[in-house]
Amino acid sequence: MIALRAPAKLTWFLEVTGRRDDGFHLLRSEMLTIDLSDLVVIDEGEDYVRVHNPYKNSVPEDGTNLVARALALVSRRAGVTIEKAIPVGGGLGGGSADAGAVLRWAGGVSPEAALTLGGDVPFCQLGGRALVEGVGERLTPLEYERRHFTLFMADFGVNTADCYRAYDELTQGGWRAESTNHLEEAARVVEPRLARTMDWLRAELGQDVHLAGSGSTIFVEGGVGLAASQMIGPEGTLQVLQTVTTPAEGRD
């Protein structure tokens, strides 16, 4: 058995810079790995994907699972057990993180090949801190910086495809993004519970409150003076986690 860490990715800023003819959006973002991670256990003598998932959103265990697709990409066969800690549908790249861990174990693939599994997979294979451009395949590694964050994790997710569709509809109507995360307003439209939660946190904390990717995880830089691991917000319980950035796997 081989146990691998699959660190979550946090999107520090996200700019939508254009759209390709095939409909995919061009991005410019800074991504960081943090010490919240899934555990991926590999048994090279078997052939299965099993997911132990404490969250409401389900994770497939068939060939559509990103880990199964990553194994197929590298022509490897193995049994894989995933212990989920990264929220499902929370904008922290959980499935991509698991696939990235498997690709690293298999020796790695090019960013272009990793992109066939999803836009976050090239960065999740690399890890650490990077400027991410194109549709996710253009990576510029950046020097590691230790940063502390507080995450607020809702018990609902935001569908990324719906978020991009809402973004397109907003821009077609003349709206232009002004925040550091160009998808924030679209995510608020797609999931009104997220909008109410973000507004409530901004009023409660009096700090810069950010959305992770297309959501639904919300974060602030630094601590917030909370000892509790949960908060009761306007749309239910928020899990509160203090976390820190991590270097790329295998680097100090």
Predicted confidence at residue 207, as pLDDT, reads 74
Q: What domain range is 241 assigned to?
A: 148-246
Task: Give yes or no: residues 14 and 128 share one domain.
Answer: yes
Predicted confidence at residue 250, as pLDDT, reads 63
Predicted confidence at residue 3, as pLDDT, reads 97
Task: Identify the sign of the CA torsion 144, 94, 167, 22.
Answer: positive
The set of long-range contacts for 238-242, using a CB threshold of 8 Å and a minimum separation of 24, is 238/152, 238/153, 238/154, 238/197, 239/87, 239/151, 239/152, 239/153, 239/155, 240/150, 240/151, 240/152, 240/153, 241/36, 241/150, 241/151, 241/153, 242/148, 242/149, 242/150, 242/151
Task: Give yes or no: residues 73 and 181 share one domain.
Answer: no
Task: Give yes or no: residues 124 and 188 share one domain.
Answer: no
- Look at residue 164 and tell me if it is in a domain: yes
Last residue of a domain, one of 104, 125, 141: 141
Task: Give yes or no: residues 101 and 22 share one domain.
Answer: yes
- Look at residue 50 and tell me if it is in a domain: yes
Task: Give yes or no: residues 137 and 156 share one domain.
Answer: no
| CATH number of the domain bearing residue 239 | 3.30.70.890
Predicted confidence at residue 244, as pLDDT, reads 96
Predicted confidence at residue 242, as pLDDT, reads 94
| CATH number of the domain bearing residue 98 | 3.30.230.10
- State the pTM of this model: 0.93
- Look at residue 251 and tell me if it is in a domain: no
Amino acid identity, position 212: A
- Look at residue 163 and tell me if it is in a domain: yes
Distance of CA 114 to the CA centre of its chain: 15
- Look at residue 203 and tell me if it is in a domain: yes
Task: Give yes or no: residues 12 and 48 share one domain.
Answer: yes
Last residue of a domain, one of 141, 156, 180: 141
Task: Give yes or no: residues 155 and 130 share one domain.
Answer: no
- Look at residue 252 and tell me if it is in a domain: no
Helix 94-105 to helix 66-73 angle, to the nearest 10 degrees?
30
Last residue of a domain, one of 113, 141, 169: 141
Task: Give yes or no: residues 38 and 115 share one domain.
Answer: yes
Task: Give yes or no: residues 175 and 97 share one domain.
Answer: no
Indicate the number of domains in the chain. Answer: 2
Would you name the residues annotated as active-site residues? Answer: 9, 120
- Look at residue 90 and tell me if it is in a domain: yes
Predicted confidence at residue 227, as pLDDT, reads 65
- Look at residue 200 and tell me if it is in a domain: yes
Task: Identify the sign of the CA torsion 49, 50, 51, 56.
Answer: positive
Task: Give yes or no: residues 127 and 193 share one domain.
Answer: no
Task: Give yes or no: residues 168 and 57 share one domain.
Answer: no
Low-confidence ranges of the chain (pLDDT < 70): 227-228, 250-252
Task: Give yes or no: residues 127 and 39 share one domain.
Answer: yes
Amino acid identity, position 140: T
> Exposed, middle or buried: residue 176 (CB in 10 Å: 0-12, 13-18, 19+)?
exposed
